[in-house]
Chains A and B, each alone.
Chain A
Amino acid sequence: MRSKLPVLFPKRRYVVFRLDSEEEIGSRDLQREIHFAQASLFGDLGAARNRLKLIYHEGPFGMLRCRHDGVQQTRAALASVYAVGGVRTAIHIRGISGTIKSAREKYIPQLSRTDAEDGGRRIELEEVSGCIVHIHGRKIDLCPDDPKRSRGSDTRYLGLTSFDLSGGHDDADGTSDGL
């Protein structure tokens, strides 16, 4: 015998998000932080009503389940996350769907790992110098030689792009991305 008729199940929404963080984030830390952010903002009662649950997390992508009328609440809770496990993090929502299947197909890329690579190379400019930590496409994370450069913004790395490094001339491979 069914314990509950299907029409009595609460409608759900699946929220796909992308993490932007300075280090790798563990699923357990992420789940704890999201629940804490929601409970801090809406109280225990509001958090219990929304039934938020992390159902998938791999690399920078993840998926949450919430009630269909709690999407705005979930957006606000995710936007209020400042750091996860002491690592500065921002959670950006990629999309919302009614089923897990469509959420995966629409918003989670098949290759979950991006073209990230550890650099180890240095940048020496007049204003900024340091070691390249991560490269994601045109985006470059730089560990500055002078730690005071990122003071006030509470981040460990400086964010640059290949546009900042191009000196107006082409490199040997024909590109002018400055790397």
Chain B
Amino acid sequence: MSYYLWGAKALPEGSDSASRQALTARDLGYKGIIICNCEPSRIFKADAARQIKGFDVEFGAEIEASNARALHSRISAWRPTYPILSVEASSDEIIHAACESPHVDALILCIDSRLSIAAARAAGESQVAIGFDLSPFFRLRASSRARWLEAFGRNLELARKFGLSMILTCMARSRLDLRGPKEILAMAEVAGFEPAEAEEAMLLPERIVQENRRHWLAPGVELL
């Protein structure tokens, strides 16, 4: 199976360079990595990561915005430049705005993010994938992890009900946050995913990368 790792952060937002993250991900069995920094133009030695043979490195952007207006302006500014756009679900307003925008590839749910019914319906119509961040699985312990698992299960139920596309990620800020594909599948199953669902969620990033490499002039119209 060819898995892509979604949403790793590179220097200066993480502690490892893009090439180090990519090299570690390759050793763990991934076929590619998607690096999503909040300021992608400032990534340390981004070109060095492309020298790793037999491994695909994509640079996307993660949008952090304080309100919907800032989010929309950032989306329209970055969409032509970066092949992958993900949005960090920092507030209800941002979740709604991101779910309604067809230009967003994925909405990454944070520790305390709650998906609402309206947002889930909008995400289904706009084909926005919901990213489930598994990093609290190893960052948190005891009651705080139990609360996170509860919220995770609730978001998962909504995503299932509305048939949303799902992505599994560990939002790695360093090489020590990276987990192999089988470990991510095991964590997802413990957190409530069905095995087939988790497998599908791990395969989605590659499909998104391949779709976005094609030149779309309008919805359903491709420049060949």
Interface residues of B in 168-220 (CB under 8 A from A): 173-180, 182-184, 186-187, 189-190
Which B residues lie within 8 Å of A152 (CB)? 13-15, 173
Whole-angstrom distance between the alpha carbons of A88 and B139 in the complex? 11
| A72-B189, A79-B137 given; A161·B182 CB < 8 A | no
- Give the Cβ gap from B47 to chain A, nearest Cβ, in Å: 9
How many chain A residues have a CB neighbour from B under 8 Å?
Answer: 38
Tell me if A149 and B15 are in contact (CB < 8 A): yes
Tell me if A163 and B16 are in contact (CB < 8 A): no
B155 at interface (Cβ–Cβ under 8 A)?
Answer: no
Tell me if B15 and A82 are in contact (CB < 8 A): no
A164 at interface (Cβ–Cβ under 8 A)?
Answer: yes
A66 at interface (Cβ–Cβ under 8 A)?
Answer: no
Which B residues lie within 8 Å of A166 (CB)? 48
Interface residues of B in 118-172 (CB under 8 A from A): 137-139, 141-142, 145
Which B residues lie within 8 Å of A40 (CB)? 141-142, 145
Which of A72, A75, A159 is packed against the most chain B CB atoms within 10 Å?
A159
B17 at interface (Cβ–Cβ under 8 A)?
Answer: yes
- Give the Cβ gap from A176 to chain B, nearest Cβ, in Å: 10
Which B residues lie within 8 Å of A90 (CB)? 175-179
Chain A contact surface mostly = mixed
Whole-angstrom distance between the alpha carbons of A87 and B12 in the complex? 22
B82 at interface (Cβ–Cβ under 8 A)?
Answer: no
- Give the Cβ gap from B24 to chain A, nearest Cβ, in Å: 8
Whole-angstrom distance between the alpha carbons of A155 and B45 in the complex? 20
How many chain B residues have a CB neighbour from A under 8 Å?
Answer: 42
Q: Which residue of chain A has its CB nearest to the CB of B178?
A: A90
Which A residues lie within 8 Å of B187 (CB)? 76, 79-80
Which A residues lie within 8 Å of B137 (CB)? 79-80
Which B residues lie within 8 Å of A149 (CB)? 11-12, 15
Which B residues lie within 8 Å of A20 (CB)? 24, 175-176
Tell me if B183 and A164 are in contact (CB < 8 A): no
Whole-angstrom distance between the alpha carbons of A113 and B26 in the complex? 21
Q: Which of A79, A139, A157, A164 contacts B179 (CB 8 A)?
A: A79
Which B residues lie within 8 Å of A78 (CB)? 183
Whole-angstrom distance between the alpha carbons of A91 and B184 in the complex? 13
Tell me if A161 and B15 are in contact (CB < 8 A): no
Tell me if B190 and A76 are in contact (CB < 8 A): yes
A158 at interface (Cβ–Cβ under 8 A)?
Answer: yes
Instruction: Provide the A1-43 mask, 1 if CB < 8 A to any CB of B, else 0.
Output: 0000000000000000000111000000000000000001100
Instruction: For the A-B complex with A154-B174, A164-B19 known, give 15 more contacts whose Cβ atoms are closer than 8 Å.
Output: A20-B176, A73-B186, A76-B183, A82-B138, A88-B176, A139-B24, A153-B173, A157-B15, A158-B15, A159-B21, A159-B174, A160-B19, A161-B23, A163-B52, A164-B45
Please report B residues at the A interface, Cβ cutoff 8 Å.
9, 11-17, 19-21, 23-24, 27-28, 44-45, 48-49, 51-52, 137-139, 141-142, 145, 173-180, 182-184, 186-187, 189-190
> Could you list 30 examples of A-B contacts with CB < 8 Å?
A20-B175, A72-B186, A73-B190, A76-B189, A79-B137, A79-B179, A80-B138, A88-B174, A90-B179, A92-B27, A93-B183, A128-B11, A138-B23, A149-B11, A150-B174, A152-B14, A152-B15, A152-B173, A153-B173, A154-B174, A158-B11, A159-B15, A160-B20, A161-B17, A161-B19, A161-B20, A163-B19, A164-B19, A164-B44, A166-B48
